[in-house]
Structure 1
Amino acid sequence: MELQVRKIVRHVEELREENGIALERPHRVAYVAAIIKNPFGTNGYVEDLVSIADELGEKIGELVGPACVELLDDEVEVFGKAALVGIAGETEHGSALIHNLRFGNVFRQAAQGTELLPAAEKTGLIATPIDVPLKHKTDAKTRSHHQSFTLRIEDAPRPDEIVIACVAGNQGRPLQRLATFGAEAPVEIGQQ
């Protein structure tokens, strides 16, 4: 099956100040998104999503994963992925493509990560925003790195398209100061 790509979007943001405080180093987040024709079609229910996802997963991963790491132009510390499906498709179509190791392993390897990629997927209209969760690439319990990034593409997804994106950041949240995971006083379940 041929992968039909209408557009590639590359975006990078660099935050230098948070809450009036200059950051020691800029907080960078980058994403690369491919806007593809929905390979599962839009003419009804498709039972076998896995075969198509297996066939296209690595191709899509190679298109957006390494390019995202290159665009960040810094060491990746956090990463995530997203699928935004046009309204003529199903959320499951996007999920099948990004929750596929052939897709994820390409990005994970480029970012030198070992954790599962946190993900967001949904169906939406053109220019619908999607909030992508980001976690530390080697330890998902690193609280300082739990964050999200909103991406929105003005002309996508069209009803018969899917936006597939990889997102990478160079550090945890700006000015993070929460205790490490498990450091708070123990609380019994049911107590508040």
Structure 2
Amino acid sequence: MSDENIEFSEENLLPYPSNEVTNSDLFSGKIFSSWEECDSFFDGWSKKNGFHIKKDRVLREEGNIRRRTYLCVHGGSYESKSKKDTSTKKTKCPFLVNVSCPKTKNPSSNVVVNKLINEHNHSLSVEMITFEEQKKFTTEMMEDIKFLTSHCKFGATAQRKFLEGKYPSQPIYSKDLYAAIQKFRPTSKSLLNDAALMSN
């Protein structure tokens, strides 16, 4: 569907209840009032349909986003830089959505879906998405991990005990905790910079 063939009016705007996003809510020609609304819709819609979505190409003009492509996280192909047999998320999934904000005949700067390939070459799992969302660390937990790592120099075992005591209803998975700790662990470069500052 070409951008130029779409007339924008208040009747075209399709409000959707955020807790009832379904597969039928996405179609070529769907209109959003802003890029924020569009991003929010795709985030919720993809999770309710059992996959994660990512932003791919973007075209800007004079600082404004004019076009954006959304892909499934499994879209694209993976090229290994090692000889190891590694599994990867990328399976060349064909799912694709092109969205644009036309300059002409669009006084409200609405955003429209103009291409949709709603196909996947892998299984979709709402349960897996729900599980991934539930095990994410909250902002408060990440602040605790940052403090315990950079200031207290606690290792994973001590941090796990602390977090399980403070957040008893939140599952703590070792792999996720190790990854979070690594984000805040000082690198050799930052340690050298700190040492240089202290010697001055």
Instruction: Using structure 2 for the length normalisation, give the TM-score.
Output: 0.27
Larger radius of gyration: 2
Instruction: Report which of the two has the higher share of strand.
Output: 1
Instruction: Using structure 1 for the length normalisation, give the TM-score.
Output: 0.27
Between 1 and 2, higher relative CO (CA 8 Å, sep ≥ 6) is seen in: 1
Instruction: Report which of the two has the higher share of helix.
Output: 2
